[in-house]
């Protein structure tokens, strides 16, 4: 099968880990480090890849809008490079690309984590349900090695499904988004770098196999972002309480926070929070627990550790962050909300932890997103790419002419 182009996103493809691993196949082509965008969260990065714009321009800054409704492509008023390829007549095959929902294209589409269902096509839905391929959540296994083995198996399964869909739907351009690499990096980064490198080298073989099967004229592989070690966790809620900037709204609220404090983040993850799919999916649970984070004069919106958003009218909150946390976070004002963006090695939480700044190592979140990622391609002009926002232009440059079909 001869594709015109194949695009592979390795979610969280990290520059430092890539440099240290022996990805023989990928490294025998052209590759270079590139930068992601801020906020470094998957939907914002994905929208930047698709539109070629920075998050402050395309407007996707979080998984949610201000009412906790998961963001989708309808809130982005710009053309995606995939829309343009579709207009040029190419048949696309998209696998779990975030922020595509509810778009459809000629060819096939499976949507990303933010979508309420996996695909608009009944036939594919049946096929994927039978293969049980919506299980993306972080789960507890008896050992790190077993955890890795489970995700390797899932990776192979997804790649095989993508191959057979590409064949059945006779696509011209494939766009495969691998999410498992992100899940694994959160758990292993810095703590079990050996296993992460093992996974990268396993991926190298999978990529080779995928490219040799689909035989694309041009292929490009990159990360939506990279990773860094999670060294400090800032409990913003704790900080605000200690600075006397917010007060508890009720005793129940205080009690519930005390309980989560006692449980600790690792156990919360084990109970199912931070899952990306299923009944306890963080996309669904967040609205339910949002009332816990409504204080007398401040309301947290959104959830990610690479981004916290809040609404407040209290100017002294801004002053306090700038005065005491500016080495660890950046503060940006967008419309009615404040965005807090962590610097390298820092993650954010709304949970009330022991101190405002904690040097705790969590088993389940030892890695945190960072800006440095990699692009690789069989086409030398990929070396002109500097940032994930340049990728769409590269692909459109390779697929210029309109396809005229005889059928």
Residue pointed to by tokens 């005793």: 251
Min dist. Cβ of residue 339 to Zn ion (A): 18
Find the residue with minimal CB distance to Zn ion. Answer: 42
Of 172 and 182, which has the nearer Cβ to Zn ion?
A: 182
How far is the C-alpha of 34 from the C-alpha of 181, rounded, in Å? 18
- In terms of residues, how long is the chain? 407
Min dist. Cβ of residue 182 to Zn ion (A): 5
Q: How many residues in the shown chain lie near Zn ion by CB under 5 A?
A: 4
- Alpha-carbon separation of residue 138 from 147, 183, 187, 370 (angstroms): 9, 7, 9, 20
Min dist. Cβ of residue 396 to Zn ion (A): 23
Min dist. Cβ of residue 98 to Zn ion (A): 8
60 preceded by a cis bond (ω within 30 of 0): no
Q: Which of residues 377-396 bind Zn ion (CB under 5 A)?
A: none
Nearest residue to 299 via CA among 68, 120, 29, 100: 68
Min dist. Cβ of residue 9 to Zn ion (A): 8
Letters for 258-277 (x = contact with Zn ion by CB under 5 A, - = none) are --------------------
98 preceded by a cis bond (ω within 30 of 0): no
Contact at 8 Å (CB) between 136 and 108?
Answer: no
Min dist. Cβ of residue 314 to Zn ion (A): 33
Min dist. Cβ of residue 283 to Zn ion (A): 14
Using CB under 5 A, pick the residue from 14, 137, 204, 224 that binds Zn ion. 224
* Strand partners for 238: none
Using CB under 5 A, pick the residue from 10, 11, 72, 107 that binds Zn ion. 11
Q: Which of residues 160-189 bind Zn ion (CB under 5 A)?
A: 182
Letters for 35-64 (x = contact with Zn ion by CB under 5 A, - = none) are -------x----------------------
Three-state SS for 225? coil
Of 36 and 260, which has the nearer Cβ to Zn ion?
A: 36
Contact at 8 Å (CB) between 351 and 289?
Answer: no
CA neighbours closer than 13 Å in the CB half-sphere of residue 186? 20
Beta strands in 242-355 (DSSP E): 298-301, 308-312, 329-334, 337-342, 346-349
The answer to the question of residue 86 lying near Zn ion (CB under 5 A) is no
The answer to the question of residue 305 lying near Zn ion (CB under 5 A) is no
The answer to the question of residue 372 lying near Zn ion (CB under 5 A) is no
**Given the rule CB under 5 A, which residues bind Zn ion?**
11, 42, 182, 224
């Amino acid at each position: 099968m001869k594709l015109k182009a194949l695009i592979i996103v390795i979610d969280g493809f990290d520059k430092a880990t890539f440099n240290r691993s022996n990805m023989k196949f990928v490294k025998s082509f052209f590759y270079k480090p590139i930068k992601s965008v801020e906020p470094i969260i998957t939907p914002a990065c994905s929208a930047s890849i698709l539109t070629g714009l920075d998050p402050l321009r395309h407007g996707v800054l979080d998984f949610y809008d201000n009412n906790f409704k998961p963001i989708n492509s309808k809130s982005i008023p710009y053309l995606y490079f995939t829309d343009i390829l579709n207009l040029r007549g190419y048949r696309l095959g998209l696998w779990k690309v975030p922020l595509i929902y509810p778009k459809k294209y000629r060819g096939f589409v499976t949507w990303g984590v933010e979508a309420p269902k996996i695909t608009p096509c009944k036939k594919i839905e049946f096929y994927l349900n039978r293969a049980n391929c919506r299980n993306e959540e972080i789960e507890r296994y008896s050992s790190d090695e077993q955890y890795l083995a489970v995700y390797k198996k899932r990776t192979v399964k997804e790649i095989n499904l993508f191959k057979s869909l590409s064949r059945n739907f006779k696509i011209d351009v494939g766009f495969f988004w691998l999410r498992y690499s992100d899940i694994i990096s959160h758990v292993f980064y810095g703590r079990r770098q050996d296993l992460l490198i093992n996974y990268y080298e396993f991926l190298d073989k999978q990529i080779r196999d995928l490219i040799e099967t689909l035989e694309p004229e041009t292929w490009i592989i990159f990360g939506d972002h990279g990773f860094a070690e999670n060294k400090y966790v800032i409990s913003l809620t704790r900080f605000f309480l200690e600075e006397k900037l917010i007060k508890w709204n009720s005793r129940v609220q205080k009690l519930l926070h005390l309980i989560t404090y006692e449980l600790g983040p690792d156990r919360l993850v084990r109970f199912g929070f931070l899952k990306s799919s299923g009944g306890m999916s963080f996309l669904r649970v967040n609205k339910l627990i949002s009332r816990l984070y409504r204080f007398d004069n401040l309301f947290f919106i959104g959830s990610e550790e690479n981004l916290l958003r809040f609404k407040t009218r209290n100017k002294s909150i801004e002053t306090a962050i700038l005065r005491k946390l500016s080495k660890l976070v950046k503060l940006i004002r967008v419309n009615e909300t404040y965005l807090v963006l962590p610097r390298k090695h820092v993650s954010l939480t709304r949970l009330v932890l022991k101190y405002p700044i904690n040097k705790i190592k969590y088993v389940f979140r030892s890695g945190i997103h960072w800006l440095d990622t990699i692009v690789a391609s069989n086409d030398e002009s990929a070396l002109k790419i500097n940032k994930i926002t340049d990728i769409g232009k590269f692909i459109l440059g390779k697929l210029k002419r309109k396809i005229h079909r005889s059928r």
